[in-house]
Structure formats: C-alpha cells, structure tokens
Structure 1
Amino acid sequence: MEVLPLLEITPLAEPTELLAALERLTSSAASASAPSAPAPYYALVAFVSPNAIDAAFVHLKTVPSGVTWAVVGEGSRVALAAHGVASPGAHVVSPLDAARSDSEHLLQALDLAALDGKRALIIRGDGGRELLADGLRAAGAQVDVVPAYRRAAPSLSPELEATLRRLLAQDNDWIITSSEALRGLHGLLAELDARAPAGEIPCVVSMQQQHLIVPHARIAETAHNLGFSRTTLTGSGDERLLAALQSLL
C-alpha cells in the first residue's frame, strides 16, 4: 500500500477567529469543580473533520462541561476521544448511521429543538459546505463558523509527477477519502495533460479507468461527475475500507 497525500493541511498564520471563539467557549463554561457556574457560551460545538479537532485543541487547554460536541464521522469521533472528549464523560453526537457521515445526517441526529435560541460553534477548514450552519440557523440557533486550518492541493513537483505517472501505468485501487482530494487529483492530472505531447494518452483518461474506493456517497457522486465509472462505496470507518480491500484479494 502506498500513501499519496492529495491535500496539504496547514495551520492559519493568525487564527484570530478561532482563538476568540475558544475564549468565549471556555470563559463562561461550567467546570466539574464548579457545577453552579454559568452555562457555557456555546451549547453546541461541531467539528467537520479530525483536522479541525486537532487544530482547535492546540489552543483549547480546558474542556468545558455542559457542551454538546458534534462530529460528522467516525474518524472525528476517534480524534475527539484522543483529546479526552468521549462518552460517557461528554455528550458527543454523530450520525446514527456510520455509513452516512455527513452534515445532513448529523442534523438528523441532533436535538435541534433544544438548540432554539442557543449559540452553536462550527470549527472547520477555510471554506466548505454551509449545510450544517444553515440547518442549525433554521432551527433557531445563533451560529458562529470559524476556520481552523487551510487546505490546498500540493504543487506539481517533478517527484509528484513521477509518482503519478508510475501509479497510472498499472491498475490500482485508490482509496479517496474526500471530494476535495479527488478534485485536487483531477486538477493535477489535467495540469500534466496540458504539458504532454500530442498523441499521448491523457492522464485524466488513464485515471478514470482506475478503481476508486470511497467512504461516502458524496465522494462517489463527485467521482461520477468527473468521469469515473469504477467506484466502490464502503461507508465511513477504517474497518469498512479494510473490508473492501480484503474483498479484492
């Protein structure tokens, strides 16, 4: 197995919004030693990815009680637990169906009625879907959305070009874990094709003939829209991806 990073995750140079939001979260939060303290500023804190969790906990030194923590997928639940936030000591909500790890199913799992008039914080990368924020606002919550990191496709270095050409020269199974990563890969291959001499089989075409293994229906839809026809949808979770790989042996 070979790992090919298709997104570069970098911290924000000046995470002003994130620091301010975390200060609001912790400044009024009740602690286990002071149960009569005021309720936390945010009733809900939602993370869209493990990267968002790790970036936030660089600065979040005190974990407030009385907060509902929301995560989109199993990977984020594991990342949150690694920072000491897990059931039964904390109230953590994620989609009820692990195969449906997205904002739509997270909204279905949340007690939206209890958030009416409350404040919610969403921590994510710069940019991204607005569905979760819109759904919480529709339920009456006051929502702050703050970026915690930046994502970008890597530059097409000679080393990366050689790796891509080598991988495309044979039939491989590609595990793609985000739509953004797949779009970034497609863009890199299109850049390669723009440099290629006439008559050479386009790298994009070669990639479209490869087999993709994806954990989410939204990634499968992105693959279809980009011209991929050999796609296996597993559902989220490392164990499902591993089972899909083992079935190919």
Structure 2
Amino acid sequence: MHPMPAPAAGAAPVIVTRPAADAQHWVRELRQAGLAAEALPLIDIAAALDTGALARAWQTLDRYAACMFVSGNAVAYFFKSPLASGLPPTLRLMAPGPGTVAALLAAGVSAAQVDAPAADAGQFDSEALWAVVGQRDWQGKRVLVLRGESPDAAGGAASSGRDWIARKWKSAGAQVDFVGVYQRRAPQLSEQQLQRARAASVDRSVWLFSSSEALANLLGQPALAGVDWRGARAVATHPRIVDAVRAAGWGVVVASRPALTDIRDTLASIESLYP
C-alpha cells in the first residue's frame, strides 16, 4: 500500500465521519488535495441480522421492475449473497449517486442497466433520482429498495429520503418492498476518539458530515454530553444535514455538493471565509 500523502503545512484538520471503509477513501482523496484529513467513523457497518430476507430477494428478483440501492454498502452486501447470480435483463438498478453507481459497476453490472442522477446534478439523493425516473410508467410495477437497517429504520432523518421516494412510487401505482441487506449502527468510540471529538469542538477542525445519522451517533455518545459545539465548524453535503448540524449547535456550517471535488473546494475556502 502506498503511504498516505502528507497534508499541506498549516491545513486545518478535516474530520471525516463516514463509515470506516468509505472514510479511508475520502481521507486519501482529501489528503491528496493537501488537506489534513483524518477518519472518525460515526457509523458502523455490518451484515444484516436477517440473512433470509436477502436470500428471498435474490430468489424473487424476476418479480421486480427495479431495484434501488441506497448506498454502495447496499450494493456490496447484496452481491455478497451466496445466491448472487445473473440479474434479470429487464431489471433496472437505481442509485442515488456516483458512489453507488461505481459500486454497481464494480460488481459487474452493465452501465446500460443503471439509472442515476447525472454526475453534475446539484444533489445526489432520492429527489435527484426521482427526477430521472419519475416520469416512467410505474403503474402495477414492483420496486425493491435495498437498504441498511438502523435503529430509526421506521423513520427519522436517516430514512427520510428513501421513504420519500417510496411514497412517490406508491403514488405512481407501484408496490414498494424494503429489504435490509446490512446494518448501520452507532460505533463504540475509544477514549482516544472521544478526546479527538472534544478537541475538534474548539481546535479549528472542520467536521465533514454526509449523513444526519453520523451526527446523531456523535451527539448520542454519553461521554460527549455537555460538549459546547459553538466553536466547531462543519461542511455538510445535503440541506437536511446542514439544518441538523446547525440545530445541534455548530457555530459554522457550510453546504457543499456531495462530490469529492466540490467538497475539496469547499474545505479549501472555509479558512478564508471562517478563520
């Protein structure tokens, strides 16, 4: 493995809160851009508890017109199934953003079978995906949403996007089924990680949030109760996340498109705007 590039001298620390595997990729990309990125994963990813549901999904794929993968993790765990085989040729595979598209292509899916927002879309989310597929005829069709299981799977910020698009499909006459193919859990932070989080509330670090769930998992750490976040800065990759971080008390919150190139630009400019 090649050594991680060194950040530019004086660069403000960037705290990447994505799940561990994703965080390491983002850290490498940001460090290559001269930013002092480090990982503090605030979502743990594991295999789903109910493996039977995943098996049944593979056995009944021919009943569906489309499968929506909520993330690259959904793709990875779906194709890890022992029953994974060829996909029905008429099945449309839907992704909310380029990371999920890349995971599908890496799994051997043909690009011609994938629907997703354009690479230059303003956001990568359910709303952007619906703008691409919403005008199709969904009457009487079945759609399978492959997602992560989390404590608030019945609602809340972590599931608002997928619930929104499910309602859109149902309004268009489709039947929507959900299968949890992996788990999203709050991490058990080490004492060193907790100390880093406390320091990052005051030391000019910039928190990078791409999930409201990661924020909730941070705020839910008992050892961090009472931390004053007014001196903290953050970049958030969706308007809903921006609102959540501001409501949690961060003093500076800047919005960015979720593409890594845009995040790099936003992080590079935050120093001059909010020193």
Q: TM-score range by the shorter chain?
A: 0.7 to 0.9
Q: Alignment partner for residue 110 of structure 1, among 96, 108, 133?
A: 133
Q: Does 1:68 align with 2:92?
A: yes
State the match for 2:28 in structure 1: none
* Alpha-carbon distance between aligned partners in 2 of 1:234 and 1:193, rounded to the nearest angstrom: 26
- The normalised TM-score by structure 1 is 0.81
Question: What secondary structure, in the 3-state scheme, does the structure 1 residue paired with 2:145 have?
Answer: strand
| Aligned-residue offset at 1:131 | 1.4
Contact 2:69-2:145 at 8 Å conserved across structures: yes
Is the counterpart of residue 219 in structure 1 residue 241 in structure 2?
A: yes
Q: Cα distance, 1:83 vs. partner?
A: 1.3
Q: Find 1:101's aligned residue among 118, 124, 128.
A: 124
What corresponds to 2:148 in structure 1?
125
Indicate yes or no: 2:45 matched with 1:12: no
> 2:118 and 2:145 mapped to 1: Cα distance?
16
How big is the shift at 1:7?
Answer: 0.7
**Unaligned regions of 5+ residues in structure 2, if any?**
1-36, 154-158
Offset at residue 2 of structure 1 (A):
0.8
- Report if aligned partners of 1:71, 1:77 keep a CA contact under 8 Å in 2: yes
> In 2 relative to 1, CA 46–114 (structure 1 residues): closer, same or farther, beyond 3 Å?
same
Q: What is the percentage of aligned positions where both structures have the same residue?
A: 30
Q: SS of 2:223's equivalent?
A: helix
Q: Which is worse superposed, 157-166 or 121-130?
A: 157-166
AA matched with 1:121: L
**What is the root-mean-square deviation of aligned Cα atoms in Å?**
2.0
1:168 deviates by: 3.4
CA contact under 8 A between 1:50 and 1:76: conserved in structure 2? yes
CA distance, structure 2, for counterparts of residue 212 and residue 114 of structure 1: 41
Q: Tell me the distance in 1 between the aligned counterparts of 2:53 and 2:125.
A: 24
Alpha-carbon distance in 2 for matches of 1:107, 1:164: 36
Question: 2:270 & 2:110 partners in 1: Cα distance?
Answer: 34
Contact persistence 1:133–1:145 (CA under 8 A): no
Q: In structure 2, which of residues 223, 229, 236 is the aligned counterpart of residue 192 of structure 1?
A: 223
How many residue pairs get aligned? The number is 223
| Residue 234, structure 1, aligned to residue 256, structure 2 | yes
- Rg bigger for which structure? 1
User: What residue is the counterpart of 1:37 in the other structure?
Assistant: none
Check whether the contact 1:125–1:151 (CA below 8 A) recurs between aligned residues.
yes
Cα-to-partner distance string for 1:31-88 (whole Å, 9 max, x where unaligned): xxxxxxxxx321111011111111111123323321111111222122222212242x
Once the two structures are superposed, the pairs formed by residues 1-249 of structure 1 within 5 Å of their partners are 1-25=37-61, 40-59=62-81, 60-87=84-111, 89-94=112-117, 98-126=121-149, 127=153, 128-129=159-160, 130-188=163-221, 191-194=222-225, 202-203=226-227, 205=228, 207-248=229-270
**Residue 227 of structure 1: how far off its partner (Å):** 2.2
**TM-score with structure 2 length normalisation?**
0.74
Query: CA 1:230 to 1:168, structure 2 compared with 1: closer, same or farther past 3 Å?
Result: closer
Structure 1, unaligned runs of 5 or more: 26-39, 195-201
Q: Secondary structure at the match of 1:2?
A: strand
| Counterpart position of 1:30 | none
Q: How far 1:96 sits from its partner (Å)?
A: 7.7
